[in-house]
């Protein structure tokens, strides 16, 4: 049986220094083997065998999600941000076992649609530990969520606020504000959030409709690595709090959103650095009158908890002067790796032959769609000895893989997740 080398996603790879300590010690029932190098450790044969058994049962490709890693990440965030309410955003990985893991740790939930509200209701979870944060809803979505017992909602414009007029006394509103930051890696501000100049007006309108203007909400951008983002956002948030105070309204909450990154191949700041940045910004702008605060990690909670087992379908050169091989895997953009679009996210890929010499490859998915290419502009180093049928482990794939997968494009089944 070939050994499979795996680097812990949270330890250093590619020569860079470790940013955060490893958070996923082997589970108790898994005997450990000594590390083969300081950068990577060998998966225990039991674990490799277990993956292989699961693949035999469920087929390849297969996403395996490790709830122990979710717990570790929860503990780390909770420790780093004491006093901040943690609401797990279901969107990247809504598997009930994952939701229940966070909930059992004491975490709360961030829901965005009636589908997600229904899921949580079917699981029998306390609606008072859930908030509904989608700024765009049908009337029926609001009615359904209220009926389920959810009371805290988000809106970002006058029209959406008016939908709540008939629910006065039952709903608390956070106003989502968009703070444009030209330096942000991924600017979420276009689709959601009203501009700060309009915020006071909308909150006043909510108040005049008899609704409880409870606070404001923002999102610094997905996979945010610029720690100053929270400082400028909280400065503007404080200005809105002050303006409302001038109208006799006391806002009580700031929803700090998500943005906590997963560690892919590129270096990202550690949880502690994020926590410090947020804590310092809160203290700097709100002094000793810090409001209730919420964070909504999604990717940051589950990204590193998943690994996809996949296989090499073909390796070929198709041009006489090709210097690079094309490596075709049995998973691609449509089967779960949609976030490789524009090669935005570079997943760590581990093989049993990583000790051999490596050379750059183009990596493509299995469909007959020409857009289904994962890495081409920046080719990916893979072992020169890699052959058809070899296994690969695609790490840090816990977020936005099963949920972005297409229904059955080209006759391929959607990605299966197995949660351990």
Per-residue x/- mask for its own copies, residues 367 to 396, rule CB under 8 A? Answer: xxxx-xx--x-----------x--------
Among 85, 105, 125, 136, binds its own copies (CB under 8 A): 136
330 binds its own copies (CB under 8 A): yes
- Residue 412 interacts with its own copies (CB under 8 A): yes or no: yes
Taking CB under 8 A as the criterion, which residues in 220-249 touch its own copies?
Answer: 222
Q: According to the binding rule CB under 8 A, does residue 364 interact with its own copies?
A: yes
CA dist 29 → 46, 55, 274, 331 (Å): 10, 20, 33, 30
Residue 320 contacts its own copies per CB under 8 A: yes
Residue among 172, 225, 267, 403 that touches its own copies (CB under 8 A): 403
| Footprint (CB under 8 A) of its own copies, residues 140-179 | 156-160, 178
Beta strand ranges found along 96-205 (DSSP E): 108-111, 130-132, 152-155, 172-176
What sign has the CA pseudo-torsion 112, 114, 116, 121?
positive
Contact between 119 and its own copies per CB under 8 A: yes
Decide if residue 38 touches its own copies (CB under 8 A): no
Contact call for residue 186 and its own copies (CB under 8 A): yes
One residue of 78, 267, 276, 406 binding its own copies per CB under 8 A: 406
Query: Are 154 and 134 a contacting pair, CB within 8 Å?
Result: yes
Q: Does 316 bind its own copies (CB under 8 A)?
A: yes
Q: Which residues contact 128 (CB under 8 A, 6 or more apart)?
A: 149, 150, 151
Beta-bridge mates of residue 255: 217, 294
Provide, rounded to whole angstroms, the least separation between the CB of residue 321 and its own copies.
9
397-408 burial code (b ≥16 CB/10 A, e <16): bbbbbbbbbeee
Task: Give the residue among 268, 66, 104 at the shortest CA–CA distance from 186.
Answer: 268
Cβ-based nearer residue to its own copies, 273 or 403: 403
- 49 touching its own copies, by CB under 8 A: no
Min dist CB 299 to its own copies, Å, is: 12
Give CA separation, 376 vs 124, 267, 311, 351, 380, in Å. Answer: 46, 21, 19, 19, 8
- Kindly state whether residue 213 participates in binding its own copies, applying the rule CB under 8 A: no
Identify the sign of the CA torsion 195, 198, 204, 210: negative
Q: Show the tokens assigned to 311.
A: 């296989």
Among 27, 191, 247, 284, binds its own copies (CB under 8 A): 191
In the complex, the smallest distance separating the C-beta of residue 28 from its own copies, rounded to whole angstroms, is: 33
Judged by CB under 8 A, the number of residues near its own copies is: 71
Residue from 103, 328, 375, 380 touching its own copies (CB under 8 A): that is 328
Q: Output the six-digit token pair for 175.
A: 């106003």
The yes or no reply on residue 313 touching its own copies (CB under 8 A) is: yes
When asked if residue 134 is in the footprint of its own copies (CB under 8 A), the reply is yes
Cβ proximity to its own copies, 383 vs 414, nearer residue? 414
**Distance between CA 174 and CA 152 in Å, rounded?**
7
Quote the tokens at residue 262: 């997963």
């Amino acid at each position: 049986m070939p050994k499979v080398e795996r680097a812990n996603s949270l330890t250093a790879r590619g020569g860079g220094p470790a940013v955060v300590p490893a958070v996923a010690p082997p589970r108790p029932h898994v005997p450990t083997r000594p590390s083969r190098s300081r950068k990577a450790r060998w998966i225990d044969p039991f674990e490799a065998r277990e993956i292989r058994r699961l693949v035999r049962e469920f087929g390849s490709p297969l996403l395996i999600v490790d709830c122990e890693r979710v717990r570790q990440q929860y503990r780390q965030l909770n420790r780093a941000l004491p006093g901040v309410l943690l609401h797990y955003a279901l969107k990247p990985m809504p598997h009930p076992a994952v939701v229940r893991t966070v909930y059992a740790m004491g975490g709360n939930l961030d829901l965005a649609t009636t589908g997600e509200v229904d899921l949580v209701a079917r699981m029998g979870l306390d609606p008072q530990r859930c908030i509904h944060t989608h700024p765009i809803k049908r009337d029926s979505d609001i009615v359904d969520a209220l009926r389920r017992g959810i009371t805290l909602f988000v809106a970002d414009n006058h029209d959406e606020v008016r939908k709540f007029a008939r629910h006065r006394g039952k709903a608390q509103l956070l106003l989502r504000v968009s703070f444009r930051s030209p330096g942000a890696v991924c600017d979420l501000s276009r689709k959601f959030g009203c501009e700060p100049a309009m915020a006071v007006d909308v909150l006043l309108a909510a108040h005049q409709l008899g609704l409880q203007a409870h606070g404001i909400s923002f999102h610094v951008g997905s996979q945010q690595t610029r720690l100053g983002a929270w400082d400028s956002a909280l400065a503007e948030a404080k200005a809105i709090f002050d303006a409302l105070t001038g109208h006799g309204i006391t806002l009580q909450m700031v929803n700090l959103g998500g943005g906590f990154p997963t560690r892919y191949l590129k270096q990202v700041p550690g949880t502690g650095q994020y926590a410090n940045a947020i804590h310092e910004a809160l203290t700097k702008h709100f002094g000793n009158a810090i409001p209730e605060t919420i964070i909504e990690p999604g990717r940051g909670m589950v990204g590193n908890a998943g690994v996809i087992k996949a296989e090499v379908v073909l390796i070929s050169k198709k041009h006489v002067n090709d210097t690079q091989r094309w490596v075709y895997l049995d998973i691609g953009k449509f089967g779960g790796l949609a976030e490789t679009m524009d090669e935005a996210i570079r997943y760590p890929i581990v093989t049993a032959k990583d000790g051999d010499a490596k050379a750059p490859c183009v990596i493509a998915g299995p469909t007959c769609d020409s857009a289904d290419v994962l890495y081409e502009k920046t080719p990916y180093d893979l072992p020169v000895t890699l052959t058809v049928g070899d296994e690969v482990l695609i790490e840090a794939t816990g977020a936005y893989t099963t949920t972005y997968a297409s229904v059955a494009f080209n006759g391929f089944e959607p990605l299966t997740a197995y949660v351990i």
